[in-house]
Amino acid sequence: MYMTQCLQRMLQQDPEHTATVFAGRRQTYRQFGRRVARLAGALQHLGMAAGDRVGMLACNSDRYLEYIMGVWWGGGVLNPVNIRWSVAEIVYSLDDCATGILIVDAHFAPMAEAIRQSARQAPLFIYAGDGEVPPGMLGFEQLIEQAKAVDDAGRGGDDLACIMYTGGTTGSPKGVMQSHLNLWSACMPRMVDMPPIRGGRLLHVAPLFHVAGMARALIQFLAGESHVLVAGFDAGQVLQVIEQERITETLLVPTMILALLAHPDIDRYDLGSLKRLTYGASPSAGEMVEQVLARFPDIELSHSYGLTEACPVVSSNLPWNHTPQARKCGLSRSVGRGGLGVNVKIVDPQGHEVPRGTVGEIIVRGPNIMLGYWNRPEETARALRNGWLYTGDAAYMDKQGYLFIVDRLKDMIVSGGENVYCAEVENVLARHPAVAQCAVIGIPHAQWGEAVHAVVVLKPGAKTDAEQLKAHCRAYIAGYKCPRSVAFRDQLPLSAAGKVLKRELRKPTL
C-alpha cells in the first residue's frame, strides 16, 4: 500500500488519459508521470534522502500535485504548509520537523527572505512560479528539465507519508504524522461509499495543504480520473470553470457554496455537468442544504465529518440522507455513520461507551488513524489511548449508528472552513502590554459560520482599542485567526477553580 501505485497503474493502463488541467496547461498521465519521476530525481540530487521532509508553500496548481507525487516517488515526506499562516507560524513548522527543502510559488516567493532569516536552519528554496526565478532560489521547471528520471522508491505501509500541521490548544501547531497506510485506508472506504464517477472531472477548489483537499486528490488518483484546478476560490471563476471543463464534482466548504449560489451571474452558466458536491468544515449547514437542492435538485450531495488525525474522514452522510424524506426526519443534520474499517464510539469521561442518544465524546479506531504527533509523545499519549483516537468532539449516536454532533469539547472555532484554536489566539492577545486578561470565543457569522470574538480586560490605567489589538494579533498569527470583534469588560466570569466561564460569555447581552 504505497500512494504512488495509482500513478504506476495509470502509466501502464491508460497513459494518454488527461491527468491535470490548470491555467491553460493540460497534461496526460504519461506527461505527468515523466515530470514526477524527474522531480523525484532532482530532489534526490539536492539531498532528499528516504524520509526527509519537503515543504510546499503555494496555491493550488498542477505543480502542487506533482510535488505530492514527486516527493513520494523519491522516497520523501510531505510537509504541506498552510498558506494562511504568518511567517512565524511557517518557520515554526519548518523548524519543528527539519524541513530541508521548501517549494514556493509566485504568490509566496516574497516571504522567502523573511523565512530564511527566521528559520533555525534555512531551507533550500525552489521557485514553482512562472517567469524569472528570484535570486537565491532554484527553478522548479529547470530542475525537472535537467534532472534524470528515477525509479519509484516504493515506500509504503507504515512509512511516513506526510506531516500535516494543525492548530493546537497549547498555542503552537502540532505535526500530525500520517503513513501511506493511513492515507490509503482513509481513501478506499470513501470510494466504497461513493464510487468514483466514470470519466469524472474533479475541480480542486479546497486548498491542497488541507488534509481534506489532499485526500480528495488522492481518491481521484486512485480512480485514475482527471484533476482540474483553480489557484483559489473566486465564485465567478469557479462557475466559469465548471461550465468550460464540464466538471462532474467538487469539494467545497459552506461559505464557498453560499457565495456560488449568491453570485449574480449563476444562471448564465451551464452547470449541468455537476453531478456531485461534497461539503464539510461546518457544524451545521441545514439552510445551505435547502438552497443547494433548490438550485440543483438532482445533485448528489454528501457531507463528511473528520479531523486531520483521522486522515481525515470519520463518517459520511451520503446522498440518500439528503432526500426530502430524510431532511424531514432530521437525518440530513447528522454527520453520517462511520466508514468501512472505522470503528466509532461515544464514551463518557471514563472511556465507557454510553447508551444510544446520550451525549459523550467521539472516539475512533481504525487503520486511518495517525501515527501520532511529531516529537510530542505526551500529547500523542493523550490523544491515542488503548488504540482509540479521542477527538474532543461531543455527540450522540442514534439507534442506526448516525452521529449527531452537539458541541466541541475542544476549545475550537470553525470560521470559513478553517479551525481556530482559542488558546492560540488568547496566548497572542495576552502578549499585548495593555491586556490583563482575555478570552476568545466563536460567535455566529452569516458568511463565515463562526467569527473569532475576543473579550478583554485591560490592566489598570492601560489604554488600547479593538483595532490596535487586531493589528497586534496579525503580527503573530494568520489573519483568519485574528479577532473580528473585541469587547472590553471590567472582569471575566470565573468558576470556583478560577477558570473562565465561556458559557457566560456566549450568553447574549441585554
For 337-354, how does the pLDDT look when each residue is reduced to its tens digit (9 = 90+)?
998 999 999 999 999 999
At residue 243 the predicted structure's pLDDT band, cuts being 50, 70 and 90, is very high
Residue 135 lies in a domain: yes
Q: For residue 71, is pLDDT > 50?
A: yes
Separation CA 54–CA 149 (nearest Å): 18
pLDDT at 501: 81
The mean pLDDT value of the chain amounts to 92
Helix, strand, coil proportions of the chain in percent (round to 5)? 35, 25, 40
Residue 32: CATH number of its domain: 3.40.50.980
Does 312 sit behind a cis peptide bond, omega within 30 degrees of 0 on the bond before it?
A: yes
Strands (E), 12-105: 18-22, 25-28, 53-57, 77-80, 101-104
Residue pLDDT, tens place only, 356-383: 999 899 999 999 999 999 999 999 999 9
Does the pLDDT of residue 329 top 90, yes or no?
A: no
CA distances (Å), origin 499, targets 108, 282, 494: 40, 28, 5
- Please check whether residue 82 is in contact with residue 105, taking contact to mean a CB–CB distance below 8 angstroms: no
Instruction: Please report whether residue 397 resides in a domain.
Output: no
Cβ proximity of 86 and 21 under 8 Å: no
Question: Poorest-confidence range of 285-299, 301-315, 367-381?
Answer: 285-299
Angle between helices 235-245 and 254-262 (to 10 degrees): 80
DSSP 339-385: PTT-EEEEE-TTSPBPPTT--EEEEEESTTS--EETT-HHHHHHHEE
Show which of 108, 129, 156 is a domain's final residue: 156
Residues of the chain with pLDDT > 90: what percent? 78
Helix axes 29-45, 5-13, angle to 10 degrees: 140
**Residue at 112 is within a domain:** yes
- The whole-model pTM stands at 0.86
Least confident of 280-284, 423-427, 452-456: 280-284
Distance CA 164, CA 168 (A): 12
Q: Can you give the pLDDT at residue 168?
A: 46
**What are the φ/ψ torsions at residue 237 (nearest 5 degrees)?**
-65, -40
Q: What pLDDT is stored for residue 510 in this prediction? A: 45
| Per-residue pLDDT at 253 exceeds 70 | yes
The predicted-structure confidence for 37-49, as pLDDT tens digits, reads as follows 999 999 999 999 9
444 falls within a domain: yes
116-143, pLDDT tens digit by residue? 999 999 999 999 999 999 999 999 999 9
| pLDDT at 497 (0 to 100) | 44
Identify whether 252 is part of a domain.
Answer: no
Q: Residue 281 has what pLDDT? A: 63
Total domain count, the chain:
2
pLDDT tens digits, 94-114: 999 999 999 999 999 999 999
Q: Which of 97, 124, 156 is a domain's end point?
A: 156
Average pLDDT over every residue of 196-204 = 96
- 21 assigned to some structural domain: no
| Confidence band for 209, pLDDT divided at 50, 70 and 90 | very high
* Distance, CA of 199 to CA of 225 (rounded, Å): 6
- Do the domain assignments include residue 42? yes
DSSP 8-34: HHHHHH-TTSEEEEETTEEEEHHHHHH
3-class secondary structure, 301: strand
Single residue among 156, 189, 224 that ends a domain in this structure: 156
pLDDT at 496 over 80: no
What are the φ and ψ backbone dihedral angles of 373, each rounded to 5 degrees?
-95, 135
The x, y and z cell numbers of residue 26, run together, are 493540460
pLDDT bucket at 194, cuts 50 / 70 / 90: very high
Q: Report whether 212 contacts 304 (CB < 8 A).
A: yes
As a whole number of angstroms, the distance between CA 329 and CA 321 comes to: 10
Mean pLDDT for 231-258 is: 94
Q: What is the pLDDT of residue 170?
A: 45
Which band of pLDDT confidence, cut at 50, 70 and 90, is reported for residue 407? low
Give the CATH number of the domain where residue 489 resides. 3.30.300.30
Comparing 6 with 504, the larger pLDDT belongs to: 6
Q: How far is it, in rounded angstroms, from Cα 398 to Cα 279?
A: 22
Average pLDDT over residues 297-311: 93
The pLDDT assigned to 48 comes to 98
pLDDT in tens, 473-483: 999 999 999 99
Residue 461 forms part of a structural domain: yes
Query: Three-state SS for 307?
Result: coil
Residue 114 belongs to domain spanning: 27-156
β-pair partners for 346: 362
